[in-house]
Structures are given as structure tokens and as C-alpha cells.
Amino acid sequence: MTDVLTAADAATLLARARELRPLLESQAAPTDAGRRLTQATVDAMRESGLCRLLQPKRFGGSETSIRSFLEITSEVGRGCGSTAWVSSLINVCAWLAALFPERAQTDIWGENPDAWIAGSLNPLGETTAVDGGWRVSGRWPWASGCLHAQWAAVGINMKNAEGQIVNAGLALLPMSELTIEDTWFMAGMKGTGSNTIVGKDVFVPEHRFLAYPQALGGHYATEHGDEVVYRAAFVPVTVLILVAAQLGVARAAFDYTRTKATARGITHTRFGKQAESTGFQMLLAEAAMAIDTARLHAFRCADDLDQYAAAGTYPDITARARMRMDISLAAKYCRDAVDQLVSAHGTSSLADVSPMQRLWRDIHVASHHAITEWQVNLEVYGKALLGQDNITHLI
């Protein structure tokens, strides 16, 4: 078994994320306005190695645990939600690439160990079989980080002569053979640049394809079975990474509201400081507990993933459904907390000059990702608990 990340190494990476916060905070507004990460942010993230947390050590990555990834990236989110979202997606795509055969990994990192991968996992691409692989065409929206990536991980369908889907999976394609359509126009997480990747007749060799049916059951193509983190459960990992930024955004909103409470009064009352108001104190405490609850559930999921991976066992469907439930609850509570903090801070939260309006927009866009929707995951978990046929295979 390969060495796991030491506590000292994890602490060093977390310290780097904390040191970057002032820079990320200063770049958050121009990132939002420019609808992409600023060059200063990209340079800082590359230099810090915080987009290489889940890249194998064999190629110079940190190969962190899932828990360490979550803790470090949520700290990035305290500085800038869009930056944390992009780094989460780049990191999970590195994790996904590490599930492929080493030959595919070498294609990506052999000559450029600092290569970033953007992804859009929904199998929207169409394929034509050719010698040694497939020709792939398609459009893949929501590809966060594609503006800064050198490779793409995209979902593809394989059909037979009758047009029936006979397989689906993930393909690795160089960005140099793809184009990007500027389609990301959203209320929040504007700076993620989650645009649409477009490919036409791109060759994908066999070693750069990972079948979804096998992967969903924990059967990966990597030859390095001793690398613990790459034994973690496929769907829960790809879903959990979505809440790292949200934990950071919620904490940033809390920090801002608490700090301002000693200087802001409550209009049309005798309170010269919000901090003196019992009502404000109660709202702040409720938001703090919501954020704490979100963290507890998110980190329980991360710990479960790490523990199953370390034991070399794949969690059953009920355990995986509970992981999705943990993630969904974390997203909901982060959103609830920010809503509470906006109410507590007051109408000025929504002024253009206030960072609170950006945090509020970011948390609402991030927390409404389809796979973390609250009512969907309640049903997924409830059916798993009762042994009923479920509504999705993505568990």
C-alpha cells in the first residue's frame, strides 16, 4: 500500500489555502464580473498546488484523502466561491483520470505534470467505432474550469447499428482538439466559466475510455490498486466535491456578518450595534449551527469514503445513498445559513458593493445542482432504506 498523506503534509496544504484567502477575496469581485478566474488567481492556484490535491503522487500530485480535500477546498471557498468550485472540479477530474489505465494517465501528466482536467460527466457524446478506439462528437455543458484546462473528461454513449445504447462511460480528450462555447450566464458562481465543450470527430483511443457500469460498482481500470484514495466509491466522490465550495461560502458569509455586527446598527431601533440585539444574536447562532451541521454531515461522508477505501471494500447501496443524503443536507443547510445571515445583516446585504450579495447568489446556484436536490435525495435514501427499486443508478 502506498504512503498516505501525512498529517504534516495536509496541514501544510491547509495553511497554503489560508494564506491565499486575502488574494482570493481581492479577486472575487473581478472574477464574478469577468465570468472567469483572473490570471492572478490561476497563477496562485497553480503555484500552490491546490488543484493537484487528488492527483497521484506518481505524477507530482498530493494524493490526499477525501477528508483532506474537503477541508482544504472549503478553505479556498472562504476566499472565493467560484475559485473553490473550479478547483473542486479540476481535482475530481484528476481523481477520475487516476481510475484509468496508467497509459491514459501518462498521456495527460507524462509531459506536463501540472495539466488540469475539466469535466462534464453526462454521457452526451456520440461515438463511431474505428480501429483502436472511437471517433467522438458532442456538446458537453457545465464544464467548470474548461477555460483553464489542458484536458477534458466527458461522458459518451456507445450505440449499436440499431441506435440502441450498449455502453456509456468517460472519455479523456485534449482541449486542443475541442472548442468552448460561451454559454455560462447564471445568477451566481459566475466566475466558474462553466461553459460548453464541443467536439467533432475527435479520436479517443481505447485506453482513454472508462466504462460507467463497471465504475459505478467500484471496478476501475487503474493498475495501482494500492493507491487508497482511488478505491473510493465513484458516485459519492463525484457528488461530495460539490459541497466543498459551499461550506466555504457559508463560512465567509458568517464571518462577514459577525464582523460587521459590532459596527452596524439596526435601523429604526435603539440598537447602535447589531451585536447588542438578542434577535440578531439568535439569528447568528442559528446560522452558525446550520453551518456546523452541514460540516458534520459533509465530513461524515468524507470519512466514510476514506474508511471504506482503506479497508478495500465498496459500500453497499444503503451506505452510498446515505452519503448522497449527507451531501444534500450539507448543501441545503449552507443555503439556509446564508439566507439567515442575509436577513440578519439587513437590506445592505443585497447592495452591489456588498460581498454578501455575491455570496448569496453563489450559494443559491451551487446548492441547486440537480444531483444534490433535497427532495430527490430524500427519495433516493428512503427507497434504499426500504429495499425498493430506486429512481437513479447514480448512487
Residue spans of the domains in the chain: they are: 7-111, 117-211, 234-386
CA distance 368 to 335: 9
Amino acid 192: pLDDT:
98
Considering the domain 7-111 in this protein, what is its CATH number? 1.10.540.10
Question: What average pLDDT score do residues 317-334 get?
Answer: 98
3-state secondary structure of 67: helix
User: How do strand 165-174 and strand 151-159 relate by DSSP bridges?
Assistant: antiparallel
pLDDT of 166 higher than 90:
no
Amino acid 375: pLDDT:
97
pLDDT of 1 higher than 60:
no
Question: What average pLDDT score do residues 15-27 get?
Answer: 98
pTM, 2 dp: 0.96
Amino acid 4: pLDDT:
58
Amino acid 3: pLDDT:
45
Q: How confident is the model at residue 202 (pLDDT cuts 50, 70, 90)?
A: very high
The model's pLDDT over 103-137, given as tens digits with 9 standing for 90+, comes to 999 999 999 999 999 999 999 999 999 999 999 99
* Strands ordered across the beta sheet of 179-181: 179-181, 195-205, 133-143, 117-130, 151-159, 165-174, 209-211
Q: Burial of 58 by CB count in 10 Å (0-12 exposed, 13-18 middle, 19+ buried)?
A: middle
The model's pLDDT over 46-85, given as tens digits with 9 standing for 90+, comes to 999 999 999 999 999 999 999 999 999 999 999 999 999 9
The CATH fold assigned to 117-211 is: Butyryl-CoA Dehydrogenase, subunit A; domain 2 (2.40.110)
Amino acid 2: pLDDT:
44
Amino acid 118: pLDDT:
98
Share of the chain above pLDDT 90, in %: 93
pLDDT of 275 higher than 60:
yes
Q: How confident is the model at residue 6 (pLDDT cuts 50, 70, 90)?
A: confident
Q: How confident is the model at residue 158 (pLDDT cuts 50, 70, 90)?
A: confident
E strands of the chain, at which residues? 117-130, 133-143, 151-159, 165-174, 179-181, 195-205, 209-211
The model's pLDDT over 167-189, given as tens digits with 9 standing for 90+, comes to 999 999 999 999 999 999 999 99
Amino acid 161: pLDDT:
73
The CATH fold assigned to 234-386 is: Butyryl-CoA Dehydrogenase, subunit A; domain 3 (1.20.140)
